[in-house]
Structure 1
Amino acid sequence: MNPLLDAEQAVLGAVLLDPGQLAQLEWLAPDHFYRPVHQALFAALRQLRSDGHPAAGEGPVPLSWVTDAVNEAGRHVRGLTASYAHTLVSACPRPAHAPVYGRMVLEGAIHRTVTQHAIRLHQEARTGALRGEVEGTLHYADVLTGVLTDLARRWGTEPRPVAPATPPATIPSVVPPTQADQGAEDEAFLLAVLVERPGAMGEVVDWLRPGDFADPVHGQLYRCLGALHHRGEPIDRITLLWEAQRRGLLADRTLSRDRFAVICDGVGAGDAEWLGKQVMRSSITRTAAASARAVRALAEDETLAPGRLINHALHSLGPLADVRTRWETAHGRPASRAPSSAPSPSGPPAARVHAALTRSAPLAAPSPPDRLSLGPAPTAARPSSRIHS
């Protein structure tokens, strides 16, 4: 049993039975259908309507409406026959319920689209981590945010981050050993520099946070350094050890004296700002991967309504937006924003939103389901089929 497939067939069957239903489905696009044959057929039906097909008028629907749609769709996809078109007709319980069937198709498309873009962001984050780059990761984060905003408008809601009641269960990311070793080395090197160089904390404290460290112990030591810096107290290995003890890191065995000695006995000579940016670069790709996994887990939950899915997904991207803002600050650039997906002036955004908000309401005067006539087509001339773009 596949409710989404049934909904796609019902939408197409409703339009084949009653072409006037297309006016109620302006917000539904061909690419919202999952099966390619359904995409091609819906695009063909819209194309015939825009070309002024006689079936779009009043009176019985001629058989040519079905045959012409099959021929037009057959230009772009294989396997579509007139018999399948009649199967679609029989799959539609009520043509007047086309907006409701269309809502189901759009809902499936939203889940599918969010999943695809989350996977793409996760792949780009992993690639960026291996290459030591973040530009591609940030770009695809913008793309995902723009997609979520556009889908919210298509669904008829306002996009706003909302935390889910229960965080989605995600699979932990596995970091390659070589990459993990390099990141841990950069973090330990940075801590050694901050301990040995007076004033080095001032170079990174404004934009580097404990959560940017992959190793929790390193993050806790950086928090201790930040506390000393904030209170205006001197920083060296003794004051740092004292602060770590005050915070219970020695008592609960979070930090051992041997590990503390290894970190603080490092070289201690280096550029704190450069090392801090290395740590933050890893933080961006790591946070992006975690956000992408959370969004994908939400999208794969079929019980989650589209509005909640979109808002929860936007919330899951919040940590990445925070790291990105601090990354821009570290480079002395104003924080960039995700591109807004304002509706195109050439499209029908108002009609889509209105249709989405009223998508469950059937037509006031539903057409009889037997409007499709098997009689001869009218003699009125009609334009020839054209390949739609």
Structure 2
Amino acid sequence: MNPLLEAEQAVLGAALLSPDQLSHLDWLAPDHFHRPVHQALFGSLRKLHGDGHPAVGAEAPIPASLARGAWPGAITVGDSTPVMRQWVTDAVEDAALRVRGLTAAYAHTLIAVCPRPEHAPVYGRMVLEGAIHRTVAQHAIRLHQVARADALKGEVEGALRSADILSGVLTDLAQRWGTDPRPVAPTTAAVPPVKAELVAEDERFLLAVLAEQPQSLDEVVAWLRPGDFADPAHGQVYRCLGALHHRGEPIDRITLLWEAQRRGLLADGTLSGEQLTDLCDGALPGSAEWFAQRVMRSSLTRTAATSARAVQALAEDESLGPRRLINHALYVLGPLGEVRDRWQAANGSPAPKQSPSAPAPGGPPPAQVRAARARSTPRPFPAPPGPLGPVPTSTGGRPPSRGHP
């Protein structure tokens, strides 16, 4: 038994049994349905309803005998029965022009599945909930794919664009559902970080340059962090270099080894004397800032891929309601925004500030938000919120603070 499938069938069955229920579903769109046949049928029902089909406003719905199996036999209950039967026939014929496999028999199945037509807004809310999960998962998968591709090409622009789109989609979905987007930490287990590729050499070169030219630390400590290194051991070496430089102590193989020992990195096996010796003895001329930017770029694409996997895992958790899903997804995107700010600071291009919100030309009608809050029994809808703002905007920048790891 698939609750989402039955919810889609129940919505369509309610609209076939009682066309006036569509007036309570104007916030539901055909693409919110998962199955193409359901998308086509709901689109046809909306079209017929908007065109003023004679069945709209009819005094009686399709008789209960139809739902019990009399399809489409001679039903003579009330003068409205022929009109209602024509409503179903017209909807099926119109939808069949755009999708294969739809028959009058399946329309009968949809009618039989619907327990109560007056519960259509609640069934529709379930359909919208499923659509939100699918939409978030699709955009998270796209972000992961683009981030991995950027990592191989040594680029970040595609990942940043995809992250903006995902963030904007989450904000838009929150407004469609009738809630305020607000990052909230999830309680689920964290997704392991994506493994780095082709960056260990850049990290070793950077550390060797910094060990040979300690003054170069002034060029990178404002925006490069130990967590940006794919190899945790390299991040710890960078932390040791930064600590020595911060205290104004000389940096060479012996002082670096001593600092690592004081931090317990030799005792717990994080580092070895041979690793530190190789770094210090492998000094070479080069630009610390150039190598650091390469490490930073890898950190950004790696963080984007990890965040995307975490969002996808949340979207695949069917126990999460839309509000929790959206807020948790916004939270797990937070580290990507922080890395992005430092990347832009490293390149001397702070993130653009968000522009004031303006009404979205294609935004949902206020009734869409009202109906999304419907519950199991009909009740007066709350007042609609204000107009929706535009979908994606770039993460706001903040001036970097100079410090040491």
TM-score range, shorter chain: 0.7 to 0.9
Quote the offset at 1:340 in angstroms.
9.5
Contact 2:256 2:276 in 1 (8 A): no
Residue pairs, 1:224-373, within 5 angstroms:
224-336=240-352, 344-362=360-378
Cα distance in 1 between the residues matched to 2:105 and 2:356: 44
Deviations 1:287-322 (A, max 9, x none): 111111111111111111221111111111111111
Render the CA deviation track for 1:265-305: whole Å, top value 9, x for unaligned: 12331111110110011111111111111111111111112
Shift of 1:198: 3.7
Q: Distance in 2 between matches of 1:92 and 1:235?
A: 75
Amino acid at match of 1:55: A
Which residue of structure 2 lines up, in the alignment, with residue 100 of structure 1?
122
Stretch moving more, 24-33 or 186-195: 24-33
Amino acid paired to 1:57 = G
Q: Which moved more, 1:27-36 or 1:346-355?
A: 346-355
TM-score for both structures, normalised by structure 2: 0.83
1:172-183 aligned at under 5 Å gives the runs: 173-175=194-196, 179=197, 182-183=198-199
Shift of 1:150: 1.4
Alignment partner, residue 67 of structure 1: 89
Q: Once structures 1 and 2 are overlaid, which stretch shifts more, 208-217 or 78-87?
A: 78-87
Greater shift, 248-257 or 307-316, is seen at 248-257
Counterpart in 1 of 2:51? 51
Q: Which runs of 5+ in 2 are unaligned?
A: 62-82, 381-405
Aligned partner (choices 90, 94, 112) of residue 134 of structure 2: 112
Give the AA of the match of 2:221.
Answer: V
Q: Give the corresponding residue for 1:79.
A: 101
Percent identical across equivalent pairs? 69
CA distance in 1, matches of 2:306, 2:33: 29
Say if 2:45 is the partner of 1:29: no
Partner of 1:146: 168
1:218 & 1:152 partners in 2: Cα distance? 40
Distance 2:202 2:183 in 1: 34
The aligned residue for residue 40 of structure 2 is 40
Worse-matched range after superposition: 85-94 or 51-60? 51-60
TM-score (norm 1): 0.86
Tell me what 1:377 maps to: none
Asked if 2 retains the 8 angstrom alpha-carbon contact of 1:128 and 1:136, the reply is yes
Q: Say which is worse superposed, 242-251 or 291-300, in terms of deviation.
A: 242-251
Residue type matched to 1:284 in 2? Answer: L
Cα displacement string for residues 79-115 of structure 1 (whole angstroms, at most 9, x for unaligned residues): 1112211221111110100011011111111111111
- Asked if 2 retains the 8 angstrom alpha-carbon contact of 1:211 and 1:219, the reply is yes
C-alpha distance after superposition, 1:169-211 (max 9, x if no partner): x466455xxx3xx311100100111111142011111111100
Output the CA distance in 2 between the equivalents of 1:142 and 1:263: 38
State the match for 2:389 in structure 1.
none
Q: Is the 8 A contact 1:24 1:99 kept in 2?
A: yes
Residue of structure 1 in register with 2:152 after alignment: 130
Structure 1 counterpart of 2:182: 160
Alignment-mate amino acid for residue 37 of structure 1: V
Q: Distance in 2 between matches of 1:219 and 1:195?
A: 14
- Counterpart in 2 of 1:383? none
Instruction: For residues 346-377 of structure 1, give each alpha carbon's deviation from its aligned partner in whole angstroms, at most 9, with x where no partner exists.
Output: 5444222222223444268xxxxxxxxxxxxx
In structure 2, relative to structure 1, the CA distance for the partners of 1:16 and 1:338 (3 Å cut) is farther
Deviation at 1:326, TM superposition (A): 0.6
Q: 1:340 and 1:93 mapped to 2: Cα distance?
A: 46
Contact 1:41–1:73 under 8 Å retained in 2: yes
The alpha carbon displacement at 1:253 in A equals 2.3
Aligned letter for 2:323?
G
Preserved contact between residue 33 and residue 39 of structure 2 (Cα < 8 Å): yes
**Match of 2:294, SS?**
helix
**Distance change >3 Å, CA 287–CA 143, structure 1 → 2:** same
- 1:37 to partner: Cα distance: 0.3
- Runs of 4 or more above 4 Å deviation: 336-343
Question: Using the alignment, how far apart are the partners of 1:40 and 1:340 within structure 2?
Answer: 37
- Measure, in 2, the Cα distance between the counterparts of 1:144 and 1:339: 18
Structure 1, unmatched stretches of 5+, are 365-389
Q: 1:77 & 1:235 partners in 2: Cα distance? A: 72
Evaluate the alpha carbon distance shift between residue 150 and residue 138 of structure 1 in structure 2; reply closer, same or farther with a 3 A threshold: same
1:116-164 Cα offsets, whole Å, 9 max, x none, are 1111111111111111111111111111111111111122111111111
Task: Say if 1:22 and 1:46, in contact at 8 Å, map to a contact too.
Answer: yes
Question: Aligned AA for 2:148?
Answer: R
SS in 2 for 1:260: helix
Please say which of residues 16-25 and 31-40 is displaced more in the overlay. 16-25
Asked if 2 retains the 8 angstrom alpha-carbon contact of 1:128 and 1:137, the reply is yes
Determine the structure 2 residue equivalent to 1:381. none
SS at match of 2:267: coil
Alignment partner, residue 19 of structure 2 = 19
Q: Flag the 1:204–1:172 CA change in 2: closer, same or farther, 3 A.
A: closer
Residues 220 and 289 in structure 2, CA contact (< 8 A), matched pair in contact too: yes
Give secondary structure in 1 for the equivalent of 2:199: helix
Aligned length: 358
Mapped to 2, the partners of 1:342 and 1:320 lie a distance apart of 26
Q: Map 1:173-212 to 2 at 5 A.
A: 173-175=194-196, 179=197, 182-212=198-228
